[in-house]
Amino acid sequence: NAGVMQNPRHLVRRRGQEARLRCSPMKGHSHVYWYRQLPEEGLKFMVYLQKENIIDESGMPKERFSAEFPKEGPSILRIQQVVRGDSAAYFCASSPQAGANTGELFFGEGSRLTVL
Amino acid sequence: GEDVEQSLFLSVREGDSSVINCTYTDSSSTYLYWYKQEPGAGLQLLTYIFSNMDMKQDQRLTVLLNKKDKHLSLRIADTQTGDSAIYFCAERENTGFQKLVFGTGTRLLVSP
C-alpha cells in the first residue's frame, strides 16, 4: 500500500523560473494538504484541497503560488517566478476524510526546492 | 493566531529518559500530536492525545496533557540512538478538518 508520493524529491530553480511540485495521496484518500518548512523551522500550513476544490488556502502567499487537485492525477503546487525565499521543503499530506477521528495526517517525504 | 512553542534542543545519553515539552495557545484544540522527523524524511505520527485525556501511554512513549496550563509533554523511556530526530508538537485547529499548527521542533540527540 503506497504512501503519499511526492516528486520531485529535490528541485533546483533559478530566480524567475517556475517550480511544480506533485503529490499523489495515499490510496483512498481524497483530502490533500500542503505544508512548507523553512530551514530550521516547523511546518506551516499552506492549503487544503479536496478533489477539484480548494477548501482553505489561508496559508498560501497571495501572489505566485497556486494549488490544484484535479479529478484525475496528482495534486500540484505551482510557484511562479521563484525567489530565494521560496527555498524550503514542501510537504504534502493526505487524510481519508475531513474530520477523521484521530486527525492523523499521512505525510510524504517532501520536495526540497532550492532557488539559486 | 494559534502558536505552538518548543525548546530547540535536547541531549541525552542512551538508556536515559527524554522529556520534550510543548506549550500551545488554542484552548479549543481537540487533538494534540507528536510527530517525528528523521533527516531528509517526512513526518511520522508517533502518538496523539484527545483533549479530554490527561495521559496516554504507548510502549516507551508517555504523553502528558495539562489543559489548564496548555502544556503537552512527550516522555521517551529508555532512549535509543535511533530516537535521534526532530520531534514536532502539533495542535489541531477547531476547523473540522486536519489543519495542524506545528511547533518549531525539538532536536533530540542521543549519545551512546
Q: Does residue A98 register a pLDDT over 60?
A: no
Instruction: Give the position of cell 511520522.
Output: B44
For residue A105, the one-letter residue type is L
Least confident of A43-52, A55-64, A80-89, B1-10: B1-10
Whether residue A71 is predicted with pLDDT greater than 70 in this model: the reply is: yes
Could you tell me the CA-to-CA distances from A22 to A39, A51, B44, B66, B99 in Å, in that order?
Answer: 21, 14, 20, 39, 20
* One-character DSSP codes across A8-32: -SEEEE-TT--EEEEEEPPTT--EE
Give pLDDT, residue B13: 97
- CA distances to A32, A82, A102, B28, B87 from A87, in Å: 21, 9, 32, 33, 22
Q: Give the lowest-confidence range in A16-25, A36-45, A47-56, A92-101.
A: A92-101
pLDDT tens digits, one per residue of B25-53: 877 778 899 999 998 888 899 999 988 89
- Residue B102: list chain A partners with CB under 8 A: 35, 42-44
Best A105, A109, A111, A114 residue to mutate vs chain B (most B CBs within 10 Å): A105
A41 vs B: CB within 8 A: yes
Strand B31-37 vs strand B85-92: parallel, antiparallel, or unpaired? antiparallel
